[in-house]
């Protein structure tokens, strides 16, 4: 209703102001009533014949031209078109794309590695699987009792060996010292390096103390009776070949497994690190697990 009413009011007003345009205005009003779309066309049709003087017409035209640049930022059609010459691509869009893409790739890789570590850590935790590790009661290199409870709350890296070891153990212990230093640099106190002897008969606390002090002052050396050592080796699934009743003065070597056992703060086995891991690789693996740990780690 209002649509049809407004044009007729305008046409009345036009008729009273400019009588010459009466005929046209009537036609305009009729046209307006038919459709809203004609409103703009009829407005131009209305102003042009109704201009009484050239001056007025000039003013009208110049006013319209002055308003045009305000509505469109560009002076020419070419200029307006050129805004879209590159389409939606600009260096800003490119940078945003690269940043977002890079961020997503990094996040994906990070999550993937985390899931991988989680899988490794949990694969050995599952119910019904053979458990590696367990409780023990031994003696440290200072002659003080040391049990599995002393390792709770921190990650521990357990290595089995013996002081008379000809080549592999010393190399591996040097490696272990490097790994420990690398981990210690990033997460102080999160890891305890433990050396358990497979040769308790010859490796008493004093011998362990002198031996381990050459590798790292922070190493914990553990020894005990033959039975105790046999039990811990069994718990950690370590093979060893120490003769039970070796006579004093008879030299022998011990064959044993040469893995580093990474145990979590609850005493559960996480991962075995072997000779294929360089100290850097091993430290990275350990740090990965340490960072994944949601519980508290003693400082």
- Enumerate binding residues for other proteins (CB under 8 A): 163-164, 166-167, 170, 202-203, 207, 210-211, 214, 249-253
Strand bridging mode 137-140 / 220-223 = antiparallel
Tokens of 159: 């290595």
User: Which residue number, 117 or 164, has a Cβ lying nearer to other proteins?
Assistant: 164
User: Which residue number, 87 or 249, has a Cβ lying nearer to other proteins?
Assistant: 249
CA-to-CA distance for 141 and 153, rounded, in angstroms? 21
Please tell me whether 169 is known to bind a ligand. Answer: yes
The closest alpha carbon to 220, from 184, 196, 189, belongs to 196
Instruction: Report in angstroms how near the CB of residue 278 gets to other proteins at its nearest.
Output: 18
Please tell me whether 60 is known to bind a ligand. Answer: no
Please tell me whether 277 is known to bind a ligand. Answer: no
Instruction: Report in angstroms how near the CB of residue 165 gets to other proteins at its nearest.
Output: 8
Task: Decide if 38 contacts 31 (C-beta within 8 A).
Answer: yes
The closest alpha carbon to 266, from 147, 146, 151, belongs to 151
User: Which residue number, 224 or 265, has a Cβ lying nearer to other proteins?
Assistant: 224
Strands (E), the chain: 137-140, 145-147, 155-161, 191-197, 220-223, 260-263, 269-273
Count other C-beta atoms under 10 Å from residue 231's C-beta. 17
Tokens of 299: 């400082």
Instruction: Report in angstroms how near the CB of residue 170 gets to other proteins at its nearest.
Output: 6
* Residue carrying the six token digits 């790994």: 179
User: Which residue number, 252 or 293, has a Cβ lying nearer to other proteins?
Assistant: 252
Instruction: Report in angstroms how near the CB of residue 161 gets to other proteins at its nearest.
Output: 11
Instruction: Report in angstroms how near the CB of residue 211 gets to other proteins at its nearest.
Output: 6
User: Which residue number, 99 or 168, has a Cβ lying nearer to other proteins?
Assistant: 168
User: Which residue number, 213 or 225, has a Cβ lying nearer to other proteins?
Assistant: 213
Instruction: Report in angstroms how near the CB of residue 219 gets to other proteins at its nearest.
Output: 14
Count other C-beta atoms under 10 Å from residue 22's C-beta. 13
Count other C-beta atoms under 10 Å from residue 126's C-beta. 8
Q: Known binding site for Cu cation: residues?
A: 165, 169, 256
């Amino acid at each position: 209703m209002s649509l049809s009413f407004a044009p007729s009011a305008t046409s009345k007003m036009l008729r009273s102001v400019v009588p010459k345009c009466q005929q046209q205005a009537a036609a305009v009003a009729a046209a307006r009533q038919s459709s809203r779309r004609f409103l703009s066309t009829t407005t131009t049709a209305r102003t042009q014949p109704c201009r009484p003087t050239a001056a007025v017409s000039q003013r009208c035209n110049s006013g319209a031209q002055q308003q045009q640049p305000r509505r469109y930022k560009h002076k020419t059609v070419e200029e307006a078109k050129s805004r879209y010459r590159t389409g939606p691509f600009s260096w800003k869009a490119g940078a945003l794309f690269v940043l977002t893409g890079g961020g997503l790739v990094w996040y994906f890789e990070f999550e993937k590695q985390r899931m991988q570590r989680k899988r490794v850590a949990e694969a050995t935790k599952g119910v019904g699987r053979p458990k590696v590790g367990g409780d023990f009661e031994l003696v440290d290199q200072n002659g003080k009792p040391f049990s599995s409870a002393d390792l709770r709350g921190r990650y521990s890296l357990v290595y089995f060996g013996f002081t008379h070891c000809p080549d592999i153990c010393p190399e591996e212990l040097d490696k272990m010292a490097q790994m420990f230093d690398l981990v210690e640099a990033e997460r102080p106190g999160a890891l305890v390096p433990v050396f358990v002897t497979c040769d308790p008969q010859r490796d008493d606390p004093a011998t362990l103390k002198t031996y381990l002090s050459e590798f790292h002052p922070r190493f914990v050396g553990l020894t005990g009776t033959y039975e105790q050592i046999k039990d811990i080796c069994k718990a950690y699934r370590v093979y060893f070949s120490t003769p039970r009743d070796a006579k004093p003065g008879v030299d022998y070597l011990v064959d044993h497994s040469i893995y580093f056992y990474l145990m979590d703060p609850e005493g559960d086995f996480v991962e075995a690190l072997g000779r294929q891991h360089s100290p850097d690789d091993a430290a990275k693996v350990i740090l990965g697990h340490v960072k994944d740990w949601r519980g508290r780690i003693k400082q």
